[in-house]
Amino acid sequence: MKQVYFLCTGNSCRSQMAEGFAHKILGSNWKIASAGIESHGLNPLAVKVMAEKGIDISHNQSKLIDPTYLASSDLVITLCGDARDRCPLTPASVKKLHWPLPDPAQATGNSEEILMVFRQVRDEIEAKIKTLV
């Protein structure tokens, strides 16, 4: 069974959405987790836009990187430069990918404009997860 780890700064938006899509798209052939350099709590707008795709991440929790899980992963995907730059060292056997996605939690504007940014990031994550199949 392959193991993947999605990492971003706070494990509140991007990595949580990636974990949700990975469970749906990659299925039981993969062990899937997400974490952050810091723990910022689950962003309710990430939960909302994932629910629009029929994926419930409302019970997920923001977690810090687990060095053991990280070292035993087949694939580590960083979703922001901060996570890429601050990620602990991994063995050479761990494949690393970097998906530089904007942080939707930093979006500005009215509520619909902010939701649109969350949806754009969500849809980009979904497309990238599908390339892993």
Q: Which residues are catalytic?
A: 8, 80, 87
Region class of 11: left (phi > 0), else alpha (psi between -120 and 50), else beta:
left
> What letter does residue 41 receive in the DSSP assignment?
-
Q: Give which of 112, 104, 71 is closest to 89, Cα–Cα.
A: 71
Q: Indicate the SS3 state at residue 83.
A: helix
Q: How far apart are CA 100 and CA 103, in angstroms?
A: 9
